[in-house]
């Protein structure tokens, strides 16, 4: 892997991780059609970690409030004063909603190898991208309500969690599926975007920690010569990801979220034609 390749992959990751166009699908198509060397798993995880940092920067106040309320909730459980507090603060309820929304991911774990293997089939990714476009189009035309962290239900967040689990399939956008599912169950557009990005934190953090532990156990998994590429890719992914989040927030708020559907349809169709033309 060369430096310029690391920069390109970081750019694609930063854009496609948050714009609802599927980072996994785009990276797989780049590797297939442009003969990019498949990056090692550690590099992929580090790119995701860089975008996680971008989420933390954008939603730093939410995250700080949730951390405080998490420990306050533990305190009330220990002291037994929870029943006298009335309705929990929004940040505390948001912690619970994120935990519940993450649970469906465990259903995907037994099929992880199979799902990752789908990235080798550009025809499949083409149809998955076009499916993403359809999801975005329908959600933007018909979705959206008034629910927020104060009145979203367990059923709502479990359905969004299932959408996140389905989006592990290459070509299906995680942000697109979760934001669309949020609007479909009646979440306010702004909260649907906010919840979607906050929901990504446990999954990405967990995957990063597992890979770090794996690398620490196997010293040969880390090639010191690739460290500059890792750093360059992470910097690009993090900075670009920050601005991509701001763009999604703006477009979703203005009802322009479905515009990404046309892009997904175009890329999916081009990739489908190219899959049969390039052998």
Domain boundaries, the chain: 3-277
Distance, in Å, from the CA atom of 225 to the CA atom of 77, rounded to the nearest integer, reads: 50
Q: Model pTM?
A: 0.89
- pLDDT for the residue numbered 192: 93
Instruction: Render pLDDT for 192-204 as a digit per residue (tens, 0 to 9).
Output: 999 999 999 998 8
Distance, in Å, from the CA atom of 137 to the CA atom of 66, rounded to the nearest integer, reads: 32
- pLDDT for the residue numbered 139: 86
Positions in the chain short of pLDDT 50: none
- pLDDT for the residue numbered 255: 74
Distance, in Å, from the CA atom of 266 to the CA atom of 261, rounded to the nearest integer, reads: 9
Please state, in angstroms and as integers, the Cα–Cα distance from residue 278 to each residue in 122, 270, 272, following that order.
Answer: 11, 12, 10
- pLDDT for the residue numbered 45: 81
Residues 17/196, Cβ–Cβ less than 8 Å: no
N residues, the chain:
279
């Amino acid at each position: 892997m060369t430096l310029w390749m690391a920069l390109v992959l970081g750019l694609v990751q930063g854009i496609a991780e948050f714009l609802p166009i599927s980072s996994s699908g785009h990276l797989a198509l780049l590797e297939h059609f442009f003969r990019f060397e498949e990056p090692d798993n550690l590099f992929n995880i580090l790119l995701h970690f860089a975008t996680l940092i971008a989420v933390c920067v954008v939603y730093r106040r939410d995250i700080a409030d949730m951390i405080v309320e998490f420990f306050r909730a533990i305190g009330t459980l220990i002291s037994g004063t929870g029943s006298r507090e009335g309705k929990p603060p929004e940040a505390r309820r948001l912690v619970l909603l994120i935990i519940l929304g993450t649970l469906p991911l465990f259903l995907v774990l037994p099929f992880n190898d199979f799902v990752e293997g789908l990235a080798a089939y550009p025809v499949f990714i083409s149809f998955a991208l076009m499916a993403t476009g359809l999801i975005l189009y329908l959600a933007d035309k018909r979705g959206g309500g008034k629910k927020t962290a104060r009145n979203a239900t367990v059923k709502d967040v479990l359905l969004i969690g299932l959408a996140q689990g389905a989006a592990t399939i290459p070509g299906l956008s995680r942000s697109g599926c979760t934001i669309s599912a949020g609007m479909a169950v009646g979440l306010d557009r702004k909260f649907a975007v906010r919840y979607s990005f906050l929901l990504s934190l446990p999954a990405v953090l967990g995957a990063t920690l597992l890979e770090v532990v794996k690398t620490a156990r196997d010293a040969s998994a880390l090639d010191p010569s690739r460290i500059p590429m890792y750093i360059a890719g992470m910097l690009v992914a993090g900075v670009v990801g920050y601005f991509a989040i701001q763009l999604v927030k703006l477009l979703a708020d203005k009802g322009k979220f479905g515009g990404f559907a046309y892009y997904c349809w175009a890329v999916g169709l081009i990739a489908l034609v190219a899959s049969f033309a390039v052998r």
